[in-house]
Amino acid sequence: MLSITAKSPYALKALTELGRTGGDTPVPIGELARRRDIPVQFLEQLFASLRRAGVLSSQRGVKGGYRFARDPSEVTALEVVELLDGPLGHDAEGVLGEAAAAARTVLEGTTIADLIEREAREAGIAMYHI
């Protein structure tokens, strides 16, 4: 069916923050959660799934945290949504099937790097209006 739970938007927000601030340095999950106002325990569950799927890698210890296992330009929003919420609209028919196909096209064509760039652009635009 066509269902996206709270998991995917929260994960995309956190991944955008990770890509914006992390680079090659691991970022503590508590820091990401605080910056994006996401419950830490919830984000830990999401990131554990993304780590098992090979999207993220983790490092334990004082300088521990998460970083991307693959370049953010290689991770699509659709991949994240389907890892966390399951297949998007595979069995939808009729107008719901068309809506699912449109959503899949947009999500598949959007990478985490795109989201980082969009956020930076929007922040820059917002700053000009202050």
pLDDT tens sequence across 37-96: 999 999 999 999 999 999 999 999 888 999 999 999 999 999 999 999 999 988 889 999
Among 61-70, 101-110, 120-129, the minimum mean pLDDT is found in 120-129
DSSP string, 47-67: HHHHHHTTSEEEE-STT-EEE
In the predicted model, is pLDDT for residue 127 greater than 60?
no
Predicted local confidence at residue 24, as pLDDT: 83
What rounded mean pLDDT belongs to the chain?
92
The pair of structure tokens assigned to 6 is: 């709270």
- Look at strands 56-59 and 65-68 and give their pairing: antiparallel
Tell me, what's the pLDDT at 42?
97
Residues above pLDDT 90, as percent of the chain: 81
* Cα–Cα distance measured from residue 78 to residue 102, given in angstroms and rounded to the nearest whole number: 12
CA distance 19 to 114: 10
DSSP state at residue 79: H
Q: What are phi and psi of 76, to 5 degrees?
A: -90, 155
Residues 6+ apart with CB under 8 A from 40: 29, 30, 33
Report residue 126's pLDDT band, with 50, 70 and 90 as the boundaries: low
Q: How many helices (H) and strands (E) does the chain have?
A: 6, 2
d(CA 60, CA 72): 22
pLDDT, residue 129, reads 45
Look up the pTM and report it. Answer: 0.91
pLDDT at 117 over 50: yes
